[in-house]
Structure 1
């Protein structure tokens, strides 16, 4: 069956990352920063995983959860910084649909595993402070591993469904207003109806965020209330650990919400460069600082890391 030239449809399989074009004049600086942040985070994260794995006294739920959180951050880093640096150095601003969906999957998986892991960590600290005598029965290392596996399985399934729904779309536009590819930037480019995609994304996002925030808030408040009833020494130790979690989660939550609000609000007269810089800085912060926070503020990890670094240097 033949078609007239006017009825020929073009299947779009490559997209333009407009954000890379917008920061073209700063590409070498941005590339070096991306590589530096990637290497620093990779080094600190690897040290945390190494000392947690090799030191038997760190084989406890809290350190296992920190290790899982750090591994997840390293995976998020690997899906973001290397490609960003390579694209900037090579001057390439295009990405195929397959690469786009793959990067979207990895970044979304990182974000949701992070959120759920923070939730589990808040509950773990509540159990440790509120039920110290039953804690080692309620939260064993096996239980920790099962919970972590469940978090990954659930989020792999939900992210996979979202990516598959997007992969079935036909696209009419090629410009992605970002420096990386993710679902919320890709869906508006579709020719066909995206109602199902939007409903699926919003329903799961709202239910997950609200559920996690409720659990985290409840656990943090209950933990603080219990700490106020403890002795000064016990209270100080518990609050220090809690504040480390609160700091790490707060930075993640603020950057996560800030980047996502970019898609929900009309920025009006905001320039394209500013619109691109928001996710660039937000995502970079979110997948960089947490290993540094836990590596610096967690005494046991900090001491072991410094000891191993001295051995390497010496």
Structure 2
């Protein structure tokens, strides 16, 4: 089937996920704006708290700052556009704008997975090899891991966007609140096997990252059970990480499964919640979970942390 658009036409996608009336759109706008600003605020608060307390020399807190920065990126890939759409009568997005939103969302997902894997490795070394921790997790190595996290995430996203941009399209209707990779792929006029294969490769990559994290924590739990001090360390630094991982993985899994196999005839509210949960909840919940230990963090000197 030939593309409905030629190279000179500007493609404008129509988003069909939003359904608000004139009477309540301002209520939704204020609520979502407050939620967005609060998400940015608590992430920045945790970042500044760590840097002002000079804890940026501790690997765990550097990775936590990276997680918060990525949370801001993830939230910003969704909130500004939905806020604009709520006040607008037409919910549209340009082709370039759509690809940009897909890229930023992609980057957030891949960076989150990779950073959580690195954090698991850091906790494994801290608890299972405490005497060698500062020899293994040097500041130079930590910054290298953070740099590689961003670079690999950028490369994965760039390749995904290249594969998406090559597809000729035969439609402009996206049944979602925002532009997502699979939603655009479904509009293609040609075979999308290459895109599906790349998606499968990334899925297996994330699966193996999850296995790596779980193996790390199996070893951590074994050591933590041996002493009260290690159990306390596990509860303070590892449990929040596990909660973060479980929340992100489950929300992303439901979104992917629903996007591919869900019914468009189901409740709109349910579809919207499942579509945005991984973009809204982790950036909001992660700094709250880790921030609960801030009073404990401030009482400890960085050189005594692991």
- Alignment TM-score, normalising by the size of structure 2: 0.89
Instruction: Say whether 1:175 aligns with 2:173.
Output: yes
Superposed counterparts of 1:101-112, under 5 Å? 101-112=99-110
Alpha-carbon shift at residue 9 of structure 1 (Å): 4.5
Moved more, 57-66 or 24-33: 24-33
Secondary structure in structure 2 of the residue aligned to 1:95: strand
Superposed counterparts of 1:12-31, under 5 Å? 13-20=11-18, 22-24=19-21, 27-31=25-29
Alpha-carbon shift at residue 93 of structure 1 (Å): 0.2
Secondary structure in structure 2 of the residue aligned to 1:288: helix
Instruction: Say whether 1:284 aligns with 2:270.
Output: no
Q: 5+ residue gaps in structure 2?
A: 301-306
Question: For residue 115 of structure 2, what is the aligned residue in structure 1?
Answer: 117
Secondary structure in structure 2 of the residue aligned to 1:15: strand
Moved more, 123-132 or 258-267: 258-267
Q: Give the conservation status (yes or no) of the 8 Å contact 1:162–1:200.
A: yes
Alpha-carbon shift at residue 249 of structure 1 (Å): 1.3
Question: May I ask how many residue pairs the two structures share in their alignment?
Answer: 295
Alpha-carbon shift at residue 178 of structure 1 (Å): 0.9
Secondary structure in structure 2 of the residue aligned to 1:112: helix
Q: Cα distance 1:56–1:93, how it changes in 2: closer, same or farther (>3 A)?
A: same
Secondary structure in structure 1 of the residue aligned to 2:263: coil
Q: For 1:157 and 1:282, how far apart are their aligned partners in 2? A: 22
Q: Give the conservation status (yes or no) of the 8 Å contact 1:224–1:239.
A: no
Moved more, 64-73 or 247-256: 247-256
Q: Please, which of 232, 240, 245 is the counterpart of residue 236 of structure 1?
A: 232
Alpha-carbon shift at residue 175 of structure 1 (Å): 1.0
Secondary structure in structure 2 of the residue aligned to 1:229: coil
Q: Give the conservation status (yes or no) of the 8 Å contact 2:5–2:169.
A: no
Alpha-carbon shift at residue 68 of structure 1 (Å): 0.3
Q: 5+ residue gaps in structure 1?
A: 1-6, 305-314
Instruction: Say whether 1:214 aligns with 2:211.
Output: yes
Alpha-carbon shift at residue 182 of structure 1 (Å): 1.5
Alpha-carbon shift at residue 302 of structure 1 (Å): 7.4
Secondary structure in structure 2 of the residue aligned to 1:16: strand
Q: For 2:161 and 2:283, how far apart are their aligned partners in 1? A: 21
Q: Cα distance 1:9–1:257, how it changes in 2: closer, same or farther (>3 A)?
A: closer
Alpha-carbon shift at residue 273 of structure 1 (Å): 4.6
The superposition leaves residues 32-57 of structure 1 with CA deviations (integer Å, 9 ceiling, x where unpaired) of 23211211111111111112223224
Alpha-carbon shift at residue 266 of structure 1 (Å): 4.0
Q: Cα distance 1:24–1:211, how it changes in 2: closer, same or farther (>3 A)?
A: farther
Q: Cα distance 1:24–1:76, how it changes in 2: closer, same or farther (>3 A)?
A: farther
Q: For 1:221 and 1:123, how far apart are their aligned partners in 2? A: 12
Superposed counterparts of 1:153-168, under 5 Å? 153-168=151-166
Q: Cα distance 1:81–1:62, how it changes in 2: closer, same or farther (>3 A)?
A: same
Alpha-carbon shift at residue 238 of structure 1 (Å): 2.6
Q: Give the conservation status (yes or no) of the 8 Å contact 1:104–1:181.
A: yes
Question: For residue 50 of structure 1, what is the aligned residue in structure 2?
Answer: 48
Alpha-carbon shift at residue 28 of structure 1 (Å): 3.0
Question: For residue 227 of structure 1, what is the aligned residue in structure 2?
Answer: 224
Q: For 2:113 and 2:85, how far apart are their aligned partners in 1? A: 29
Question: For residue 10 of structure 1, what is the aligned residue in structure 2?
Answer: 5
Q: For 2:67 and 2:258, how far apart are their aligned partners in 1? A: 26
Q: Cα distance 1:299–1:247, how it changes in 2: closer, same or farther (>3 A)?
A: farther
Alpha-carbon shift at residue 282 of structure 1 (Å): 4.4
- Alignment TM-score, normalising by the size of structure 1: 0.87
Q: Please, which of 138, 141, 144 is the counterpart of residue 136 of structure 2?
A: 138
Q: Give the conservation status (yes or no) of the 8 Å contact 1:244–1:297.
A: no
Q: Cα distance 1:30–1:259, how it changes in 2: closer, same or farther (>3 A)?
A: farther
